[in-house]
Amino acid sequence: MAIAHRGASAYAPENTVAAFDEAIRLGAAAVEFDVRLTADGIPVVLHDATLDRTTNGHGAVARRTWVELLRLDAGSWKHPRFAGTRIPTVEEALRAMDRRAIPVLELKTPLDPQRLHRLLADHAVLDHAVVLSFQAQLLAKLHRCMRRLTLGLLANRWRPGLPRLCQQVDAQILALSYSALTLQRAQQVAGEKRRLWCYTVNDVAAIAACTAVGVEGVITDYPDRIGARPKT
47 is a catalytic site residue? yes
Distance CA 36, CA 227 (A): 32
Q: Across the strands, what pairs with 217?
A: 197
Residue 49: partners with Cβ closer than 8 Å, 6 or more residues away: 36, 60, 61, 62, 108
Q: Which of 47, 58, 79, 117 is catalytic?
A: 47
Confirm whether 5 is a catalytic residue: yes
Whole-angstrom CA distances from 183 to 110, 173, 174, 214 are 33, 17, 15, 8
Active site residues: 5, 47
